[in-house]
Amino acid sequence: MRMMRNLIASETGASIIELALVAPFLAALVVVVSDLSGAYSMKLRLEQVSQRTLERLQQMSSPADPANQATIASEGATAATDAGYSGASVAVTYTNYCNGALQANYTDTCTSGQTQMKYVNVTIGSSYTPMFSNTYFPNRNSNGSVNLTGVAGMRVQ
């Protein structure tokens, strides 16, 4: 009977029980943070690839020419492959603004007195597959992957 009272009054195993209760939450937190940091790292690398593609565009003799779109897209795909993202999607977008208003065609000219601004945007996308199947990523695909994009833009005129 005395041994039973001592066992009930003893607190030597309390910290182990508390750890056993908290450990699953801590492990889940580590998994979530590692997946989110991996996705954020991939997004930053995709943005760097987009910026590197624009740097190559600046080396061209006429970066504002939409005829270079296929060349820029090819450069972006090569840069993405070099960064470890084979099969990444590359989109090159030319936009034209007259006094801040988006024009329908890139080749349109502004009327006299208006400020014309032309931009080239490079968007490179790839899919990120988390380490563990989860539901905390918004807009995830049916296979559990998430589409990430890196965007960089440059004014060319």
Domain spans, the chain: 2-155
pLDDT band at 42 (very low <50, low <70, confident <90, very high): very high
pLDDT at 69: 83
* Strand, helix or coil for residue 98: strand
Distance CA 58, CA 156 (A): 9
d(CA 141, CA 1): 61
Query: Is residue 7 scored above 70 in pLDDT?
Result: no
The Cα–Cα gap between 120 and 94 comes to: 5
Instruction: Work out the average pLDDT over 3-28.
Output: 81
Q: Which stretch of 70-84, 101-115, 133-147 has the lowest confidence by average pLDDT?
A: 133-147
pLDDT tier, 104 (very low <50, low <70, confident <90, very high otherwise): confident
User: Tokens 């009272």 appear where?
Assistant: 5
Extract the tokens encoding 25: 């939450």
Rounded to whole angstroms, how far apart are CA atoms 3 and 151? 70
Which amino acid, one-letter code, is at 102?
L
Q: Which residue has the tokens 């890139």?
A: 106
Give the bridge partners for 91, in sequence order: 123
pLDDT score, position 3: 78
Residues 6 or more apart whose CB falls under 8 angstroms from that of 35 comprise 130, 131, 132, 134, 136, 137
Which pLDDT score, from 0 to 100, does residue 37 have?
92
Q: Which comes out higher in pLDDT, residue 136 or 146?
A: 146
Residue 47: pLDDT band by 50, 70, 90 thresholds? very high
Q: What are the structure tokens assigned to 118, written together?
A: 């032309």
Alpha helices by DSSP H, the chain: 2-9, 14-58, 69-82
pLDDT at 35: 85
